[in-house]
């Protein structure tokens, strides 16, 4: 089986979805003998030859000032499109609803391979964070949902993720496909833990609390600090370790200082080495993850791999499968609720470690098992495709432009110039700007008859309108 994986980020950027794509690529190739190709926006200084599978970087634009290190990919980059289409994938799997899924849809027009999409996170929150004009943000979210609905098989990483997608207006079917953990199951040796944590103020016998992830306020980090203030006022000693980076790190460090917690809060910055992260999870006594933003919370399963229990918000996606006081802890989304739990938990560390062992035994999920399940689903989708039983998608006006774009890209090397011009307005413009199918068909047919130069000019002006 030939599998094309697409995502809008890849190393040197490291995040949860990048981790997913890399594990899919590795285990599809290693355990199932698949040929794998990965398409991703180009990142400077990246070594795309360092992987056991092909990585095709396509043209990108620097938007790191507003996206904390991420670049925007150009979905109309013809050189990369040609390389991806010549791979002749059996399955196209997109992991981001932006340019990656636009490319997936164009590839489908060229190769007739089914497109699978995985909804990993609440992208609408990031859209509203980065796009200040409400109407533009609303239109961006509508386009995102439309892009997702155009795919042939929709996956979500948790039931809560599916509910979140439905709340945005998604009306199709979806399948829950859990993500796994690339941590080995088991605690790290004491010597390795001591080496990794050397130099930090972590007295023996003092409870160590841990958070790993992007430093973003919407992950519940202010709640942690407010709860720690209450815990401190109760007289309980502790150390709180924040591992990661993000646009809100300085804000959080300042808040810790204002609350008088600087001597008990440690901000390590990002740690990319997986063994070092395992050591921190082994050293900690409790993992704090009060996020209602995350749709899966891989870090919770990573903690469980090391025998570390997590504190989670009731009814959050990350709390799915957690039994309070057995394999984790459930609280209300308030500082008082977290502080009350921590006051009790810090006085009984052996009990915390027992709950952590249950987490290891019950919620740990390996990537081998997850990718095997995904591979089986790939086969099912392909069988449906061959049998002609994949449900037909309702044709939208934008689909005619996707189809036309695929044809033009296949026929004209000059189309690369079009992509750069179009993408400047891509995030803030509705592709489906026409209300009726007939108008879209007629316009698509007329544009197809134009020369490349005329096509570029008129298509660009249409997007601007």
pLDDT tens-digit series, residues 185-225: 999 999 999 999 999 999 999 999 999 998 999 899 999 99
Whether the pLDDT of residue 400 is over 50: the answer is: no
The CA distance from 28 to 367, in Å, is 10
- Rounded percentage of the chain residues whose pLDDT exceeds 70: 80
pLDDT computed for residue 462 by the predictor: 58
Closest CA to 220 of 130, 90, 310: 310
Summarize the confidence of residues 291-311 as an average pLDDT. Answer: 90
Closest CA to 297 of 16, 2, 49: 16
Same CATH topology for 2-180+372-394 and 190-364?
yes
Summarize the confidence of residues 171-178 as an average pLDDT. Answer: 91
Contacts of 261 (CB under 8 A, 6+ apart): 225, 228, 229, 232, 240
Both tokens of 39, joined, read 């398409």
pLDDT computed for residue 61 by the predictor: 83
DSSP assignments along 292-355, one per residue: SS-SS-HHHHHHHHTT--EEEETT-GGGTT--BTTTBEEE-SSHHHHHHHHHHHTT-HHHHHHH
Q: Which top CATH class is 190-364? A: alpha beta
Whether the pLDDT of residue 21 is over 70: the answer is: yes
User: Given 3-state DSSP classes, what are the helix, strand and coil percentages for the chain, each rounded to the nearest 5?
Assistant: 50, 15, 35
Domains of the chain, by residue range, sit at: 2-180+372-394, 190-364
pLDDT computed for residue 158 by the predictor: 87
Comparing 158 with 465, the larger pLDDT belongs to: 158
Summarize the confidence of residues 95-101 as an average pLDDT. Answer: 90
Helical H runs in 209-267? 221-233, 249-258
For the four alpha carbons of 365, 366, 371 and 373, in that order, the dihedral sign comes to negative
Comparing 458 with 107, the larger pLDDT belongs to: 107
The CA distance from 459 to 450, in Å, is 10
The CA distance from 387 to 255, in Å, is 59
For the four alpha carbons of 11, 15, 16 and 17, in that order, the dihedral sign comes to negative
Comparing 396 with 203, the larger pLDDT belongs to: 203
- pLDDT tens per residue across span 236-289: 999 999 999 988 999 999 999 999 999 999 999 999 899 999 999 999 999 999
Bridging pattern class, strands 71-73 and 60-62: antiparallel
How wide is the angle at C-alpha 74 spanned by C-alphas 68 and 78, nearest 5°? 150
Q: Provide φ and ψ at 190, rounded to 5°.
A: -55, -35
Whether the pLDDT of residue 136 is over 70: the answer is: no
Q: Please check whether residue 299 is in contact with residue 287, taking contact to mean a CB–CB distance below 8 angstroms.
A: yes
Summarize the confidence of residues 67-91 as an average pLDDT. Answer: 85
Closest CA to 178 of 328, 359, 366: 366
Inter-CA distances, 203 with 200, 208, 310, Å: 9, 9, 22
CATH classification for the domain delimited by 2-180+372-394, as one of 3.40.50.2000, 3.30.470.10, 3.40.50.2300, 3.30.2130.10: 3.40.50.2000
pLDDT computed for residue 310 by the predictor: 97
């Amino acid at each position: 089986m030939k599998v094309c994986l697409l995502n809008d980020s890849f190393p040197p950027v490291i995040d949860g979805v990048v981790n997913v794509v890399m594990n899919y690529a590795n285990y599809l190739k290693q355990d199932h003998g698949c040929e794998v190709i990965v398409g991703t926006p180009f990142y400077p200084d990246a070594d795309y030859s360092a992987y056991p599978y092909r990585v095709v970087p396509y043209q990108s634009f620097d938007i790191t000032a507003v996206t904390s290190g991420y670049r925007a990919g150009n979905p109309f980059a013809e050189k990369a499109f040609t390389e991806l289409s010549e791979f002749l994938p059996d399955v196209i799997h997109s992991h981001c609803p932006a340019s990656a899924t636009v490319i997936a849809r164009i590839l489908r027009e060229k190769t007739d391979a089914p497109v699978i999409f995985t909804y990993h996170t609440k992208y609408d929150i990031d859209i509203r964070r980065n796009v200040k004009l409400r109407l533009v943000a609303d239109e961006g979210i509508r386009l995102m949902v439309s892009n997702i609905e155009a795919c042939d098989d929709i996956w979500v990483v948790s039931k809560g993720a599916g509910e979140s997608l439905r709340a945005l207006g998604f009306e199709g079917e979806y399948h829950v496909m859990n993500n796994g953990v690339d941590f080995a199951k088991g605690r790290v040796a004491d010597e390795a833990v001591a080496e990794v944590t050397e130099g930090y103020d972590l007295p023996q016998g003092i409870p160590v609390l841990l958070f790993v992830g992007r430093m973003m306020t919407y992950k519940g980090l202010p709640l942690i600090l407010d709860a720690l203030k209450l815990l401190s006022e109760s007289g309980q000693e502790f150390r709180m370790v924040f591992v990661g980076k993000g646009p809100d790190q300085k804000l959080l460090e300042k808040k810790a200082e204002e609350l008088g917690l600087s001597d008990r809060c440690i901000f390590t910055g990002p740690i990319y080495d997986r063994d070092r992260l395992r050591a921190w999870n082994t050293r900690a006594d409790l993992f704090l993850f009060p996020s209602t933003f995350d749709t899966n919370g891989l870090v919770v399963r990573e903690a469980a791999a090391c025998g570390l229990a997590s504190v989670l918000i009731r009814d959050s996606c990350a709390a799915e499968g957690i039994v309070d006081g057995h394999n984790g802890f459930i609280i209300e989304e308030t500082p008082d609720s977290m502080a009350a739990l921590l006051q009790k938990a810090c006085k009984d560390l052996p009990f915390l470690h027992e709950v952590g062992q249950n987490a290891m035994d019950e919620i740990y999920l390996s990537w081998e098992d997850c990718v095997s399940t995904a591979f089986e689903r790939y086969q099912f989708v392909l069988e449906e495709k061959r049998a002609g039983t994949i449900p037909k998608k309702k044709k939208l006006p934008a689909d005619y432009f996707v189809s036309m774009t695929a044809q033009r890209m296949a026929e004209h090397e000059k189309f690369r110039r079009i992509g750069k011009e179009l993408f400047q307005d891509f995030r803030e413009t509705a592709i489906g700007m026409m209300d009726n199918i007939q108008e879209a068909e007629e316009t698509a047919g007329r544009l197809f008859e134009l020369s490349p130069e005329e096509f570029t000019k008129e298509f660009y002006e249409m997007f601007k309108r």
